[in-house]
């Protein structure tokens, strides 16, 4: 059955009205206590405690970059130790995990809410960041705040709305670097479903949507001035090194549906093809997809042997180029009416089969009816 969360936001007070200081001072979740995020252990281990304290900010940024540059297999020991601390107390194997060092190395560079979000958010409940703080657009911004950003896991806010931290002149690249700096664990999930073709996509730097999707680790939503004025949200897709793969745009209603579908196995490729085609102009920033691409083999054939060929569409964006390359494979569109109808029919048929099987088992074991045809004394004549 296909779920839809549209219009739920009308039942929830807008979190944009909540002071950012209240959001930032949320308590740490059990999973995000100090020492339970892999980067915590890396930073505590590599920190130069003899360096001047006034250089701590630069040291933090350097360690973030060095950690995220590590292949995932080299990060695994830190994941294993962090997972161990989630189930038991420090047995002394981590002498750096003490209050004095935590207060110097970890606490100053992240809010509690940022730690919670970096560890607990996923593709079905992404982070939302406000990038534009123009008072003239305040009312329009409040209207855009999506319902699913209100709360998850009781009191954890998914909205990062803090002018002091995120007023970055509508610059998505500065926002990416800021999130990388303050939430190094956001794309550092210990995924067991490592795909066999992911390494190939990274080595060869393939640019079609399927290859970018293989590399995708996470994404976050943000609104800058342009997004607010157009009543669209923007999505930055990231790999496990927090490099930007692509920036797309999406409508509020589509974003709600997309996050639900991600919980049912949606891929980045399907998401962009189905919900991310509002990006008709070049964003102008760096991304993993080449914004000058002309869309694949067909353009090459026109170019070879006949001089410079006129591209089919000038100023093709990174999104357009990736979609063009992917469409040639004829991927299944999970948002089409035909797919949804088939999906629902399959679920209904499966449920009917399970009920029939349960009825047969109940009858054979005597739970449906009592002996000699009398109603079962515990479950009654209408059991199953």
pTM, rounded to two decimals: 0.64
Counted domains in the chain: 3
Percent of the chain with pLDDT over 70: 57
Q: Over the stretch 143-174, which tens digit does the pLDDT of each residue have? A: 887 544 443 443 557 889 999 999 998 999 99
Instruction: Look up residue 281 and give its two tokens.
Output: 């102009």
Give the β-pairing of 233-239 and 244-250: antiparallel
Q: Over the stretch 228-283, which tens digit does the pLDDT of each residue have? A: 999 888 999 998 888 999 999 988 878 878 887 777 777 888 888 887 655 444 44
Last residue of a domain, one of 110, 140, 172: 110
Question: Which residues form the domain of 31?
Answer: 26-110
Q: Based on the domain organization, do 143 and 277 belong to the same domain?
A: yes
Classify residue 179: in a domain, yes or no: yes
Nearest alpha carbon to residue 64 among 43, 33, 94, 36: 43
Task: Give percent helix, percent strand, percent coil of the chain, each to the nearest 5.
Answer: 50, 10, 40
325, burial (CB in 10 Å: exposed 0-12, middle 13-18, buried 19+): buried
Q: Based on the domain organization, do 323 and 250 belong to the same domain?
A: yes
Q: Based on the domain organization, do 125 and 86 belong to the same domain?
A: no
Q: Over the stretch 181-205, which tens digit does the pLDDT of each residue have? A: 999 999 887 654 444 444 444 444 5
Give the β-pairing of 233-239 and 216-223: antiparallel
The pair phi, psi for residue 230, each rounded to 5°, is: -95, 0
Q: Based on the domain organization, do 89 and 232 belong to the same domain?
A: no
Q: Based on the domain organization, do 32 and 152 belong to the same domain?
A: no
Nearest alpha carbon to residue 211 among 289, 298, 299: 289
DSSP state of 23: H
């Amino acid at each position: 059955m296909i779920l839809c969360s549209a219009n739920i936001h009308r039942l929830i007070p807008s979190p944009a009205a909540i002071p950012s200081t209240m959001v930032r001072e949320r308590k740490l979740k059990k999973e995000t206590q100090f020492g339970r995020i892999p980067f915590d252990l890396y930073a505590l281990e590599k920190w130069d405690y003899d360096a001047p304290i006034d250089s701590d900010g630069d040291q933090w940024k350097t360690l973030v970059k060095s950690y995220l540059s590590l292949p995932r297999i080299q990060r695994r020991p830190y994941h294993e130790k962090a997972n161990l601390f989630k189930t038991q107390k420090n047995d002394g194997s981590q002498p750096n995990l003490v209050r004095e060092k935590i207060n110097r190395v970890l606490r100053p560079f992240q809010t509690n809410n940022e730690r919670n979000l970096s560890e607990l958010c996923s593709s079905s409940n992404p982070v939302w960041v406000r990038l534009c703080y123009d008072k003239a657009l305040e009312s329009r911004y409040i209207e855009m705040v999506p319902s699913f950003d209100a709360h998850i896991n009781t009191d954890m806010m998914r909205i990062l709305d803090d002018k002091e931290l995120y007023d970055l002149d509508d610059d998505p690249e500065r926002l990416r670097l800021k999130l990388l700096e303050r939430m190094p664990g956001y794309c550092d999930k210990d995924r067991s479903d490592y795909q066999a073709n992911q390494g190939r996509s990274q080595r060869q730097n393939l640019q079609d949507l399927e290859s970018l999707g293989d590399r995708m680790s996470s994404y976050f939503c943000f609104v800058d001035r342009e997004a607010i004025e157009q009543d669209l949200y923007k999505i930055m897709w990231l790999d496990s090194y927090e490099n930007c793969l692509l920036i797309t745009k999406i409508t509020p209603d589509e974003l709600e549906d997309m996050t639900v579908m991600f919980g049912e196995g949606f891929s980045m490729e399907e998401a962009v093809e189905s919900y991310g085609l509002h990006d008709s102009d070049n964003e102008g920033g760096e991304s993993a997809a080449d914004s000058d691409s002309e869309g694949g083999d067909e353009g090459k054939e026109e170019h070879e042997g006949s001089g410079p060929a006129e591209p089919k569409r000038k100023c093709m964006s990174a999104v357009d180029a990736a979609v063009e390359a992917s469409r040639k494979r004829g991927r299944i569109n999970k948002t089409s009416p035909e797919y949804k109808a088939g999906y629902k029919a399959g679920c209904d048929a499966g449920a009917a089969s399970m009920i029939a099987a349960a009825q047969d088992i109940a009858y054979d074991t005597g739970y449906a009816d009592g002996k000699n045809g009398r109603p079962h004394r515990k479950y009654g004549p209408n059991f199953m």
